[in-house]
Structure 1
């Protein structure tokens, strides 16, 4: 599952790169508007996921400051990485 998490992060990095490239070098035609709308939808959905995961799993999972950013950037893939890291975090504390 660790390899799938890294593949998911790579895919999201490409998606974020395309969305941010659209802001710096606007795509021609209606592509600019489409990617701008998709960027706002992506941010809104990841913020919603962050809010849901943080409220539901706050007592069950050891949270670190970077975990919030991981969910914001990678969505469910970030959450899977956090859940996967839990046994190591509990062993350290």
Structure 2
């Protein structure tokens, strides 16, 4: 499971890089428009996931700003990582 999270985070980081690169130096054709739309959708969804993260994990784990940034940047892959931390904490 750990390698899936790492691979997912790498893919997400690559997607962010492509979308931000498109803002600086737009690609030709429709791909630039598609990447701009994907950037807007991604920002919206990751904000929503950060709110979910705060709601679910605020009482279970001590959270710092970097934790919220992780969830915003990597979305569901960070949520799964923090979920595993909570489950490990409950087992011990």
TM-score (norm 2): 0.84
Contact kept in structure 2, 1:61 and 1:83, CA below 8 Å = no
Q: Indicate conservation of the 8 Å contact 1:50/1:72, yes or no.
A: yes
Q: Which runs of 4+ in 1 moved over 6 A?
A: none
Give the number of equivalent residue pairs: 89
Distance 1:85 1:66 in 2: 16
Structure 2 residue 78 is the aligned partner of structure 1 residue 78: yes
| Structure 1 residue 44, shift from structure 2 partner | 0.2
Asked whether the equivalents of residues 67 and 82 of structure 1 are also in contact (C-alpha less than 8 Å), the reply is no
TM-score, normalised to structure 1's length? 0.84
Q: Please, what is the CA RMSD of the aligned residues?
A: 1.8
CA distance in 2, matches of 1:49, 1:56: 10
Any gaps of 5 or more consecutive residues in structure 1? none
Q: How does 1:1-93 map to 2 (within 5 A)?
A: 1-86=1-86, 87=88
Deviations 1:25-66 (A, max 9, x none): 101112111110100100000001111220232112231221
SS state of the match for residue 61, structure 1? coil
Shift of 1:5: 1.0
- Give the C-alpha shift of residue 85 in structure 1: 3.7
